[in-house]
Amino acid sequence: MPVHSIGRRRFLRGVLATGAAVAVGLPTLESLFLRGSRARADSPIPPKRFLTWFWGNGVVPERWIPTETGMVWTPPAMLAQVATPALQPYISVVTNGELKNDWFPHSGGATGALTGSSLITPGDNGTPSSASIDQLIADAIPMSPGGLRSLELAGAWHLVSTPGTASNYISHRGPGMPNEYDRDPRSVFSRLFGSVESVDPFSAFRGSVLDAVLEDATSLASSLTASDRRRLDQHMTSLRELELRIGSTGPTCTAPTNPSGEITDAVMDDILGPVKIFTRFNDIMSELLAMALACDLTRVASYMYTGPAALTSYYEVPEVPDIVGNPGVPEGLHAMTHLSDGTTDNGYLVAMEAALTESMRHFGRTLEIFRNTPDGTGNLLDNIAVYGTSCTGYAPIHTHTDYPLIVAGLAGGALRGGMHYRFPDSPGNASRVPYTIARAVGAELTAFGLDAARTSDVISELMTS
């Protein structure tokens, strides 16, 4: 090969056994007229992932909305359960966002926040007019080698007595096409891990990249000068040593503990069973989610911690009183939101706030588990985007303005993290938040939502570029 035909070549190229194309950077080679290039070998780059974390009955605005905006802000009491000091660098909160779809309490709120569309047949028997954001992302990004297009899990028991899919499910492939969720950690474990004890999610890349480009390197070497061949040989040797170090010290995906020892038929058969141990139950589901994502068994998931309207009782919160006189059975959260007028404390308001604060504490525990899960050279929160939202703003009066919108995780460096962004002036289109997240994880959607809720604008302040 004549020297002039090589041009400004910078990479050796090849194909792995998996079919994936790879490229290895070249050092400075006089023969290639490369000036100032630097040899580099990166450790395997984890894929970007997405998770919807959904809870019912919204927030209490004065305990949620920070006073300051930008990168320096103090989270109020309820938000502080999610934006802890350790997690705040990974978390952005968006306020003054409004659902622009046709409004209907709970089912319509969940539909607007998750699909950017209105209900078909408005009311509790309705279904979203379009697919939810998790499913749009699953269609737009590469599927994991684990072969699981998306994973749908749930925490508390939830089944309202209406025929509408929007009241009972948060993930939809399209109108009338809900994705069934699994709320039994035992079956989730069996489905995801089975007999697998340990797996390296990057095993297909380790120890094989240089082998894949060896033929290209041999071909290139024949056209180089003697001094450049020595440089190329030294470069390949250094990369091989680095590859071996990566292979011995890189992250290993270990299956979590089988939850069968803690979760029994008695727990799952009782519709209130899981919430009697809700903290531990949420931790188990979060651990299963974390490892499913870190093991690259799936790259898209949704977790319905509590469903639209959240009928959930909170047994572990001492501030939630036994208002209705049923010994040991606190009133359900949804009922408390209606029994309170939202302005004065009649015994229900403080209980409602305590239950919602507990929900946010559990959200924070999920994110902390992600932060403690190794992923590549960092942790899972470095490489995931989590969309946290609910079915209403302030539940006692069913608002759809100042909607709870959380963006957690850095999406492989695409998201900034640590910001309070407040839409200026008039309420902004809440659909811009899931659309921004979708673009951050690599889903090249041209727009998200329908009609007045449709948007093709990201919130650039949340992104790094």
Least confident of 234-243, 316-325, 378-387, 393-402: 234-243
Q: Average pLDDT, whole number, for the chain? A: 83
Q: Mind listing the pLDDT tens digit for each residue in 1-38?
A: 333 334 444 456 665 554 555 555 555 555 544 333 33
Tokens read off for 157: 């028991």
State the Cα–Cα distance between residues 133 and 300, nearest whole angstrom. 10
Q: Work out the percent of the chain whose per-residue pLDDT is above 70.
A: 77
Q: Which residue has the higher pLDDT, 128 or 339?
A: 128
169 has pLDDT over 80: yes
State the Cα–Cα distance between residues 51 and 434, nearest whole angstrom. 11
Residue 373, amino acid: T
Q: Mind listing the pLDDT tens digit for each residue in 81-94?
A: 999 999 999 999 99
Cα–chain center distance at 457: 20
DSSP code of 394?
Answer: B
Tokens read off for 126: 């309705």
Using only C-alpha atoms, the chain has a radius of gyration, in whole angstroms, of 25
Q: Mind listing the pLDDT tens digit for each residue in 218-263?
A: 777 777 787 777 777 776 665 555 455 434 333 457 778 899 999 9
DSSP code of 19?
Answer: S
pLDDT at position 317 is 84
Greatest mean pLDDT among 151-160, 322-331, 337-346, 413-422: 413-422
pLDDT at position 272 is 83
pLDDT at position 248 is 38
210 has pLDDT over 90: no
The class of domain 49-200+255-462 in CATH terms is alpha beta
The contacts of residue 146 (CB under 8 Å, 6+ apart) are: 292, 295, 296, 297, 298
Please state the rounded mean pLDDT for residues 445-450: 98
State the Cα–Cα distance between residues 46 and 178, nearest whole angstrom. 29
Least confident of 153-162, 170-179, 317-326, 445-454: 317-326
pLDDT at position 239 is 57
Q: Count CB-CB contacts under 10 A for residue 85.
A: 8
431 has pLDDT over 80: yes
Please state the rounded mean pLDDT for residues 365-384: 95
pLDDT at position 270 is 87
DSSP code of 438?
Answer: H
Least confident of 27-41, 42-56, 97-111, 276-290: 27-41
Least confident of 366-370, 422-426, 458-462: 422-426
State the Cα–Cα distance between residues 95 and 265, nearest whole angstrom. 42
- Please state the domain extents for the chain: 3-40+203-249, 49-200+255-462
The contacts of residue 315 (CB under 8 Å, 6+ apart) are: 272, 275, 276, 278, 328, 330
pLDDT at position 19 is 54
DSSP code of 125?
Answer: T
pLDDT at position 49 is 98
Least confident of 135-139, 240-244, 312-316: 240-244
State the Cα–Cα distance between residues 270 and 262, nearest whole angstrom. 15
Closest CA to 116 of 465, 444, 390, 429: 429
Bridge-based pairing of strands 198-199 and 49-54 is unpaired
pLDDT at position 1 is 33
Q: Count CB-CB contacts under 10 A for residue 257.
A: 12
Could you tell me the pLDDT band of residue 350, with boundaries at 50, 70 and 90? confident
Tokens read off for 303: 């977790």
Least confident of 64-73, 264-273, 335-344, 411-420: 335-344
Alpha-helical segments (H) within 39-90: none
72 has pLDDT over 90: yes
Helix axes 133-140, 107-115, angle to 10 degrees: 20
